[in-house]
Chain A
C-alpha cells in the first residue's frame, strides 16, 4: 500500500490569543513554522526535539486537536483541515493518543473500567454493559494488567501501571494510528523497557502506525524506523534511523547526538563538542572536528 496513512505538509500552528475586547490582534508567534511529516501504515516514526521544538504541538495537530493556520494534513487520504468536531468524530476512532503523565491524563474521579469503557461505548463497539466489560478485560490483559484493575482509581496504581492504562485506552478502539507523546519520560529505565517492549508487541500485533514523540534519542533509536528531528518549530532533518544516527547531516542533529552521554567512559566526550558523531559499529567513521 503505497499511500501514506498520515501526510502533512507546511503545517503552521499558533495558539490563539486570549479573546480580549480592547486588545490589538497582533499575530501570535507560531509554534510550528511549516512542518511536514509522512507516516506509513505499520511504521514507527520518531519525532525528537528539545523543549520548545514544537514536537508536542505537532502530535496534537496530527490528531486534529489543534487547527493549523495553514498547510495540509490528510489521514488516509481525507483532509483534516477545516473539519468541525462532528466531521472529525468518526475519524477519531482510528487515531488515538497516549500521554506523558498518566496521573493527569487519567481522570482522577473515574475508575479504570469507566475510563476504558467510555471510548468503546461512544464509538459503538459495545452496546451493553457486559460487552463493554468484556472489551475492557480483554484490553487490560493485552497490556499485562489483571482484570481487577477495572475497579481501581488511577491514584491506586503505580506509575508504570497507569501508563499501561493509558496505552490500553489508546488501543481499545483498535485504531490505525497512535501518537505517543513522551510516554516513558517519567519512568524508571526498567519500567520504560517493559512499557516500550509491550508497545512494540502491540504495535506489531495490531499493525499500528506510531508517532513516537520523545526528547530521548537513545530510546527513539531503539524503537523507530524513521525519525524527524525538530528545533524551534521546524524539521531540521529526517531519515531512516540507522542512517541518520550513523551519519547525521544537520549541525543541530549532530549536536544533539553528541550531547548524549553513553554509559561507557569517554575521556574526550565532556570537553570536546564533536560536530560529527563517530559510529562505534563497523562502518567507516566520518569525523569532522569543528572547534
Chain B
C-alpha cells in the first residue's frame, strides 16, 4: 500500500531528537547548579589532600582571626579562625563531606524505600494500598524532630543515625508522590495494551510504568538531597549528629553563634555554604524536571 502523502515524512529518524545529555547541558540551571555540586563533591572527596591546615588543629595564639582582606588577618587562614584557632576554610570543606554524604546516601535510601512502597501501593492496589496508605498517614502524624531525637537516642550519635533519621521520616514523601504517579500511569491505555498482550503484572510495573515515573523521581531526589543537608545541619546544630570533633556546618554555626558579634565569619561562612548548597540542589531539581519533561510530553 502506497505511503500516504498526508503523513509526516520519516526520512530523518534522528534529526529532531536531541540526546538527553545535550538537552540537560543546554539548561542553564542544570549546568550552574550541577556544576557547583560537582565542584563541592570533588572538594569533599579529596578534602584530606587539599585542605591547607588540619581542621582539628588548634592554634590558640591565632584565635578569632578574621578572613583575608580584613585587618588583623593571618595569611595562613584564608577564611579566618574560630575561637579555638581552628581554620574555618578547612573545617568548612570537611563539613561538606558530612553534608554531601548525608545528602546522597539518605536521599537515595529514602527514595528507594518510598518508591518501592509507592509502586506497590499504586499498582497492586486493594489491601496492599490500604495498608501502605494508612502506614504513611500514621507515620506522617509523628513529629519529625521527636522521631529523630528518639532514633539518635536509640542508635547513638553518629552519621548512621542521622541518615537513619532522615530515611525514616522522609520516605513517606516519595511514597505518596510515586503512588499517585503510578496510579495515573496505570490508567493509561499503554498499560491496558500491555495487559492485553499478556505481560505479567510485575513486568508491566517495572518495564512499562517505572520508566515513565523516573523524571518525577529524579526531581524529587534532588529536592530531598537539599532537605537532607538541612536536617543534618539542624541535628548537628543541636549536637545530635556526629561527634563534636568532626567539623559539621551545623556544629560550626552553633559554635559561631556565640561569638557572632565579635567574629561574624565563624558563623557566616558555614551558613552561606549551607544556603548555597541547598539552593543548588533545588535549582538542579528544577532544571532536571524541565529538561527531562518535554522529552516525555512533547
Contact = CB atoms under 8 A, between A and B. Distances in A.
B11 to A, nearest CB: 8
Interface string A85-122: 10011001101110111001111111000000011001
Q: Categorize the interface residue count of chain A.
A: 35 or more
Contact of A19 (B14, B125, B195, B296): B125
Interface string A124-166: 0000000000000000000011101101110111101100000
A169 B198 CA distance: 13
B190 A105 contact: yes
A20 B125 CA distance: 11
B296 A96 contact: no
Q: Categorize the interface residue count of chain B.
A: 35 or more
B196 A93 contact: no
Contacts of B2: 144
B211 A109 contact: yes
B10 A104 contact: no
Interface stretch (A75-83, A190-198, A220-228, A282-290): A190-198
A234 B255 CA distance: 77
A160 B9 CA distance: 12
Contact of A169 (B126, B193, B296): B193
A106 B224 CA distance: 32
Given A97-B196, A99-B189, A99-B192, A155 B298 contact: yes
A109 B1 contact: no
15 contacts: A85-B198, A85-B201, A104-B188, A105-B190, A107-B211, A107-B212, A108-B190, A110-B211, A144-B3, A151-B13, A151-B14, A153-B17, A169-B197, A194-B4, A198-B1
Interface of B: 1-4, 6-8, 10-11, 13-14, 16-17, 125-127, 129-130, 134, 188-190, 192-201, 208, 211-212, 296-298
Q: Which 8 residue pairs spanning A and B have beta carbons closest together?
A: A105-B189, A92-B198, A158-B8, A109-B211, A155-B298, A89-B198, A107-B190, A99-B189
Interface of A: 19-21, 60, 63, 65, 85, 88-89, 92-93, 95-97, 99-101, 104-110, 118-119, 122-123, 144-146, 148-149, 151-153, 155-158, 160-161, 169, 173, 188, 190-191, 194, 197-198, 201
